[in-house]
Amino acid sequence: MPDAAAKVLDRDTLKEKVDLLRHEGKRVVLTNGCFDLLHAGHVRYLQKARKEGDCLVVAVNSDSSVRQIKGPHRPIVPAEQRAEVVAALGCVDWVTVFDELDPLVLIRLLIPDVLAKGADWVEEEIVGAKEVKKGGGRVVRISVEPGISTSNLIERIHTARTREG
């Protein structure tokens, strides 16, 4: 099994690897997210996404993009560490970090066979859905675990600290 850090790739290297897989007739699944404080909901989601193809690529938001999306106190864990933890999961083949607010540039570069996103997203609002479908791929909305989220974990930690202090 490869070292987790070795599974974290820059865009150019990732593009080469994805192109090679495509040449072999393999189906590439792409999903994205912050993956701050990895939890069981993330693991279950990624395992389901992996079942949609032969290779799972996870695009992790950079620290600056997480701050813009989630607010000034996030992320809790730096991007390089979040990427390495996600890469350590057996269901994940490769991870890349992206700086933009959304993964559209990466989606246009890779044109995955499957774009996976949480079922809490309406398909029309999923960034890159049109591009993936136009390229012959499909969009899969994966059920999310109710009550399991990084925001919930942070709130529980905050509440526990408030009670103690």
Residue pair 99/16 in contact by the 8 Å Cβ criterion: no
Q: Which residue has the tokens 């192109």?
A: 19
What pTM was estimated for this model as a whole? 0.91
Distance CA 122, CA 72 (A): 26
3 state SS of 116: strand
| Helix or strand (DSSP H, E) at 6 | none
pLDDT tens over the chain, length 165 residues: 569 999 999 999 999 999 999 999 999 999 999 999 899 999 999 999 999 999 999 999 999 999 999 999 999 999 999 999 999 999 999 999 999 999 999 999 999 999 999 998 898 999 999 999 999 999 999 998 777 777 777 787 777 777 776
Cα–Cα distance measured from residue 78 to residue 113, given in angstroms and rounded to the nearest whole number: 29
Domain containing 51 — which CATH number? Answer: 3.40.50.620
Whole-angstrom Cα distance, residue 157 to residue 151? 10
Nearest Cα to Cα of residue 97 among 6, 9, 3: 9
Structure token digits, residue 1:
């099994």
Specify the number of domains making up the chain.
1
Domain boundaries, position 75: 4-164
Pull the structure tokens for residue 61: 């938001």
How many C-beta atoms surround the C-beta of residue 21 within 10 A?
19
